[in-house]
A = this chain, B = another copy of it.
Amino acid sequence: MATNTTPTAEIIAIGTELLLGDVVNSNAAWISNELADLGIAVYHHSTVGDNPARIGEVVHTALTRPNNPANILIFTGGLGPTADDLTVATLAKHFGEAMTSDPASEAAIKAFFIARGMTHSPSNLKQALRPQSAKAITNPIGTAPGIAWDVTQHCSHPAFICCYPGVPKELKAMWAEGTEQLLAWIDTYNMPRPAMARTFLHFFGIGESKIGELLADMMDSANPTVAPYVGRAEVRLRVAAQAPSLEDANALIDPVRQTIIERLAPYYVGEGEAFPVEERVADLLKTSQHTIAVAESCTGGLVSSRLTDIAGSSVYTTLNMVAYSNATKTSHLGVPATLIETEDAVSAAVAKAMADGIRGKTGSHISLALTGIAGPDGGSDDKPVGLVWLGLATPHGTWAKQVQVNPKHKRPEVKFWFSQYALHWVREYLQHPAEFSEKQAAPEHSLA
């Protein structure tokens, strides 16, 4: 019998809300990415509603496609407590296996509600049901356990099923446990899995198209591949290679990574899956035992909030202020009212005075200030929406810097770009304080 002997997955999303367009199927991309890392091929994504007949049909199609049929089915969605959540029951029926309540899942669901001072409902206990020969995947943050299930006995060829909730956070929290079972199953059939090495390089202050031009010679390469992704106020490059061993795969990406970092050196900020600049700033503050204080106007507390998104932020921050009105800039940050009148609230002088003010008030090593026009109203020819003045006060001196971001962004996005420029500016200072302070001689203009 001809069977597919390389691990090949189809991702099947279940949910009428997806077919109605009320929810974007971001899980398919996330799972695909994870499977690529595991050396598991994906040739199809499918989405189908909460309907037993159509779900059964999609399962049959996935396992019997003439070209590249799947031997691994990854389901997301339809594990909830309500009547229209019927993924697991439908699969059990499709493969002709009875359902049983998983004792650990049942206990976890009860504990989930007890911990919240609530009582579970009968519909919640429905979530503890699994096909008899399946294993449950623990859900550490919700009530719906997943399913890891070898269905080979019910098929004409080896096949494995994983079911995850549709809530992305829960899927991600459960992925490792389900994957462990999946990989163990793949190993029992000695299916080959090429090793995948990949890394993400992060850049700030340069656009995707410019990166494309500077790296044009690398963009067509098949192995390793170099692909840019536009994130939120950053660009990252994915460098990935496949090889029989992880060592070989890493050897393929290493020289490419080096070349990229050298070629884009002025914009390079770091390496890693995610690279939130607030995390980098927090690390630098902790290492240098520096404290920081923030005085915000247009960003309204966003910079302060991002700096306190990091665990242990109390070692480097004690007091931040959102001085939204001109009067409070004077009364609480000591910015002279005449300065605001003569220079305007959005100006280098006021940004510097705000930074000096909060630094003096808190006795912090360094301080950051932001004053700008987040829009959509309040802009002028002279001071358009998207313009911000940043102030930075340090033991080496106090500086101001003007940044203009795309005024077509929505207001919360403009605020985010402002905070991103401010945090990157602090990062640059903390990485090399002496060099940084020399560089501040010339005024700088940036664009996003």
Contact = CB atoms under 8 A, between A and B. Distances in A.
A358 to B, nearest CB: 11
A42 B25 CA distance: 15
A57 interface: yes
Interface string A398-411: 00000010101101
Contact of A45 (B25, B33, B116, B228): B25
A22 interface: yes
Contact of A17 (B227, B303, B311, B447): B227
A123 B82 contact: no
Interface stretch (A46-54, A149-157, A264-272): A46-54
Contacts of A321: 319-322
Contacts of A447: 116-118
Nearest to A406: B141
Given A54-B68, A302-B301, A309-B300, A21 B48 contact: no
Interface in A104-143: 116-118, 121, 123-124, 140-141, 143
Contacts of A23: 29, 229
Given A308-B301, A320-B324, A42 B19 contact: yes
A66 interface: yes
Contacts of A65: 54, 57
Interface of A: 13, 16-26, 28-36, 42-49, 51, 53-54, 57-58, 61, 65-68, 80-84, 116-118, 121, 123-124, 140-141, 143, 167, 169, 208-210, 212-213, 216, 219-220, 225, 227-230, 238, 240, 294, 296, 298-305, 307-314, 317-325, 327-328, 332, 362, 374-377, 404, 406, 408-409, 411-413, 415, 445, 447
14 contacts: A16-B227, A17-B238, A19-B43, A20-B36, A20-B238, A20-B240, A21-B30, A45-B46, A53-B67, A84-B227, A300-B320, A301-B302, A301-B308, A318-B325
